[in-house]
């Protein structure tokens, strides 16, 4: 099993690391303190990202994230958009998670569009910055409990409901809204709709104040008789009880490895800075000694590095499977569960190991600890990931194992 990063993807990593170091890091603290202020420095960077995505086949963004067709399985080893996105965002989040989530036209809604949209929709929304709206006041981890409704009325669907915790919702050009066509049919009737900014009936209620990722806006919306063209329904409009809402959920199979990569990025930053600070303090952090003859802090760091490497390899596997048209729902959840937990564990432990430097704003360690927590929550909490993994391993449906 070849575990090295392919040569063709190394420019992606190099480009993203340069952006993280030269664009994100210098303004990281500025926008952490100025919550809800738009990072104008990203406007120029967005143009560069467009070129990276469109001018060549080596983009580091999320805008073109999509699953290879099942028919392509077995046609050779592919490392495509999913792998590039994971590797690119891992490096960008080494710089700053909130800023990475604020890059124009690189929203999670773009991944949803790429995952299930038809060719006409892909062309129409190709340059649209799309956020994703799933969570509701009464439906968080259980996406099947969504109460927002979409009723067909002529050439439009009429949306009614409320959505909260929409990442980049205020800044994005459109929001991909999950709604049900018929509450009586359960999950099978849940579809996703592209609602463009300014659509009558769509109201921004508030922007949330948050523990972390403060550079990224998090919005709450209300939909009251919001009329959306029926062509904006992503995927198949037919309700299939057999398939459930597999089309909408396929988005998660693509985006969960991405979020795992983000957690790996911020945890890597914390470990790197902790090593630097401890080395400066005269602590021997070499690898030449056995664990029982090392200092406690050196042993601790090596254990954290091992956990991070395990999460990284699981994440690469899940992304590779998506690129090669292989079902990866279980692997995507495994990667997200492992990386989300390990990322938060590492950043918090690094704060502790660096004592006053870790707790103060003299370094970014305390910020990374705050930012990392959301990566264990959104795109499905730790507990939900473990539940999904259990269902896949035991062959149980969501009704059989709750």
Q: Does residue 214 register a pLDDT over 70?
A: yes
Residue of 47 and 258 predicted with greater confidence: 258
Band the pLDDT of 188: cuts 50, 70, 90. Answer: confident
Q: Does residue 229 register a pLDDT over 90?
A: yes
Query: What are the structural domain ranges in the chain?
Result: 7-124, 130-234, 246-394
Provide the annotated active-site residues: 379
Q: Does residue 108 register a pLDDT over 90?
A: no
Question: Domain spanning 130-234 has what CATH number?
Answer: 2.40.110.10
Residue 56: the pLDDT is 42
What's this model's pTM, rounded to 2 decimal places?
0.92
List the structure tokens of 363: 């370094």
Question: Domain spanning 246-394 has what CATH number?
Answer: 1.20.140.10
pLDDT 10s digits, 238-293: 887 555 566 667 788 889 999 999 999 999 999 999 999 999 999 888 888 887 88
Give the CATH class of 7-124.
mainly alpha
Q: Does residue 55 register a pLDDT over 50?
A: no
Band the pLDDT of 39: cuts 50, 70, 90. Answer: very high
Residue of 148 and 44 predicted with greater confidence: 148
Pairwise CA distance, residues 285 & 276, whole Å: 10
Asked if the domains 7-124 and 130-234 are classified in one and the same CATH topology, the answer is: no
Q: Does residue 64 register a pLDDT over 60?
A: no
pLDDT 10s digits, 124-183: 998 899 999 999 998 887 877 899 999 999 999 999 999 999 999 999 999 999 999 999
Which of 74-78, 205-209, 228-232 shows the lowest per-residue confidence on average (mean pLDDT)?
Answer: 74-78
Q: Residue 390: name the closest of 319, 324, 344, 337 by CA.
A: 337
Band the pLDDT of 185: cuts 50, 70, 90. Answer: confident
Q: Is 156 exposed, middle or buried (0-12, 13-18, 19+ CB in 10 A)?
A: middle
> How large is the average pLDDT for residues 339-360?
97
Band the pLDDT of 90: cuts 50, 70, 90. Answer: very high
* Helix 10-19 / helix 81-95 crossing angle, nearest 10 deg: 30
241 CB-near residues (< 8 Å, 6+ apart): 185, 188
Which of 89-98, 225-234, 280-289, 342-351 shows the lowest per-residue confidence on average (mean pLDDT)?
Answer: 280-289
Residue 337: the pLDDT is 98
Q: Does residue 325 register a pLDDT over 50?
A: yes
* Helix 365-374 / helix 329-353 crossing angle, nearest 10 deg: 160
Residue 128 backbone phi and psi in degrees, to 5 = -90, 135
- The whole-chain average pLDDT of the chain stands at 90
Pairwise CA distance, residues 259 & 100, whole Å: 11
């Amino acid at each position: 099993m070849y575990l090295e990063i392919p040569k063709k993807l190394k420019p992606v990593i190099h480009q993203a690391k340069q952006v993280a170091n030269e664009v994100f890091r210098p303004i990281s603290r500025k926008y952490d303190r100025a919550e809800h202020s738009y990072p104008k420095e990203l406007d120029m960077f967005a143009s560069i990202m467009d070129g990276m995505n469109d001018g060549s086949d080596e983009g580091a963004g999320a805008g073109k994230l999509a699953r290879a067709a099942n028919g392509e399985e077995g046609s050779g080893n592919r490392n495509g958009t999913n792998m590039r996105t994971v590797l690119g965002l891992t490096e960008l989040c080494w710089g700053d998670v909130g800023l990475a989530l604020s890059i124009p036209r690189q929203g999670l809604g773009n991944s949803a569009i790429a995952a299930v949209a038809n060719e006409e929709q892909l062309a129409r929304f190709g340059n649209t910055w799309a956020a994703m709206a799933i969570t509701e006041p009464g439906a968080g981890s259980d996406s099947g409990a969504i109460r927002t409704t979409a009723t067909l009325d002529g050439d439009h669907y009429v949306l009614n409901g409320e959505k909260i915790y929409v990442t980049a919702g205020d800044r994005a050009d459109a929001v991909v809204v999950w709604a049900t066509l018929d509450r009586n049919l359960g999950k099978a009737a849940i579809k996703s709709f592209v609602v463009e900014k300014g659509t009558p009936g769509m109201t921004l209620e508030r922007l949330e104040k948050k523990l972390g990722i403060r550079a990224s806006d998090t919005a709450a919306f209300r939909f009251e008789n919001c009329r959306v063209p029926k062509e904006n329904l992503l995927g198949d409009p037919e309700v299939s009880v057999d398939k459930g809402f597999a089309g909408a959920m396929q988005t998660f199979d693509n985006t969960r490895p991405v979020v795992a990569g983000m957690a790996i990025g911020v945890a890597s930053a914390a470990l790197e800075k902790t090593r630097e600070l401890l080395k400066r303090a005269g602590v021997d952090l070499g690898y030449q000694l056995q664990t029982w003859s090392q200092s406690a802090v050196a042993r601790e760091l090596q254990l954290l590095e091992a956990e991070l490497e395990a999460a990284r390899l699981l994440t690469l596997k899940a992304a590779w499977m998506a690129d090669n048209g292989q079902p990866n729902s279980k692997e995507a959840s495994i990667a997200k569960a492992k990386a989300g937990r390990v990322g938060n564990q590492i950043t918090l432990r690094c704060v502790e190991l660096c004592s006053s430097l870790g707790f103060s704003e003299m370094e970014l360690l305390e910020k990374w600890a705050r930012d990392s927590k959301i990566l264990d929550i959104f795109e499905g909490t730790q507990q939900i990931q473990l539940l999904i993994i259990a269902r896949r391993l035991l062959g149980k449906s969501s009704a059989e194992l709750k």
